[in-house]
Amino acid sequence: MEEHNKKVIRVEDSEDSSAIFMQRKDVVRGIDFGKWRIEICKSHMMESRCHNKCIDIGDDRDGSGEAGKSPNPSDKARELCEYCQFVSEFQFSLPEEVYCRNWVKITAKKDANVKDMGAGEEDPKKEAEIAPNALVFNAFESLKCTNRDGVESKLPQVSYAKEWLAAQAKYHRSEMEAIKPYDWTYESDFCGKLFGEWTVGMPDDNEGIDMEMLKRAEKILFQDTVFLLADDFGDNGIMHMNLRLRVMPSCFYILQRQFIRIDEVYVKLHDTRIFAPQEADYLIRDVSSFHLDLKYLEKKLGAQRSDGRSVNTMCTPENVMKLMPFFEKRSHKVEKLNL
């Protein structure tokens, strides 16, 4: 892989809260490609509680049990730690793994305001705004696209939900209701946030994702995987959201995938693909969702499985492509993002 200079960028104050999570002084890797600048930032998982005393007495949101604490709503977002910024925005339990400092950004170079700096340099006086024309992927914006105020009866359930509710009847708990129902699988239709002025339209017939171009044996100029979110639903499945990107001489390609599996119930995929050939002044965004009923898969593969593995162990983010013929496509749209 070609070596690239590391850079440190910071973001000035912004009314958009997603900018807060792009201001940290983490090392950023990137590459210039045609009219675009592609950058990524990778860091550690977010802390599971507040350590900076940027909170007031309130609900026990940090799980510390210390009289219960929650962010002071009068505080500016800039003054809150990462954990409290998330808690103040999302009134539900967060996923077990939130990589709040990780992000992927595609910037139109004519609007880029990122200056090259030597590896490891940190100059607080040199700041860069989110460019007027940029497409950004991060955990914060993804969670904003989840169902926060769901109707309990329409929310997903684990495989033994009916049996559990029936068992509660003798304890007079059959009428239990969720106080703040939300989609605990964190299913999100997030497909990247646009900053600046873009024109969104339909691509011409010859402007979609060129699969033949992606199949060519080319030198990989830049590639990586960036994690955003993960959870195991209390050992009842898995949710996994990340981005994989690669840049070749002829094009670049990014896949954001959210994989959701509720054991013995279903698997869902939410895919967003970003593609641009060399020198293109537009991006192709391909968004699709897929659904697989695990009872259906059990019937289809029952006679084929000689190793006795359950369908749960077969359906993982790593080997999901082998099972794609069994998935049902629920939605699909293709957009052309013009500068």
Q: Is 271 helix (H, G, I), strand (E, B) or coil?
A: strand
Determine contact, residues 250/213, Cβ cutoff 8 Å: yes
- Rounded to whole angstroms, the Cα distance separating 97 from 43 reads 12
Which of the pair, 147 or 294, is modelled with greater confidence? 294
| Confidence at residue 103, expressed as pLDDT on a 0 to 100 scale | 96
| Confidence at residue 74, expressed as pLDDT on a 0 to 100 scale | 46
- Rounded to whole angstroms, the Cα distance separating 185 from 241 reads 11
Mean pLDDT of 240-263: 97
What confidence category does residue 116 fall into, taking pLDDT thresholds of 50, 70 and 90? very low
Q: Say whether pLDDT at 120 is over 50.
A: no
- Rounded to whole angstroms, the Cα distance separating 302 from 295 reads 10
Distances (CA, A) of 265 to 206, 261, 289: 39, 8, 17
| Confidence at residue 144, expressed as pLDDT on a 0 to 100 scale | 94
Give the residue ranges of DSSP H helices in 266-306: 294-301
Strand pairing report for 193-195 and 266-277? unpaired
Query: Tens digit of pLDDT for each residue in 10-62?
Result: 333 334 555 555 555 677 899 999 999 999 999 989 988 887 777 553 444 44
CA 251 to chain centre: 23
| Confidence at residue 175, expressed as pLDDT on a 0 to 100 scale | 62
- pTM of this structure: 0.79
One-letter amino acid identity for 223? Q
Distances (CA, A) of 114 to 11, 223, 328: 10, 20, 42
Q: Is 135 helix (H, G, I), strand (E, B) or coil?
A: strand
The mean predicted confidence, pLDDT, of the chain is 80
Residue linked to tokens 């708990």: 173
Determine contact, residues 228/251, Cβ cutoff 8 Å: no
Mean pLDDT of 60-66: 43
Neighbours of 77 (CB within 10 A): 17
Strand pairing report for 134-138 and 328-338? unpaired
Which of the pair, 168 or 284, is modelled with greater confidence? 284
Q: For the chain, what is the total number of helices (H) and then of strands (E)? A: 6, 16
Lowest mean pLDDT among 13-27, 142-156, 218-232, 261-275: 13-27
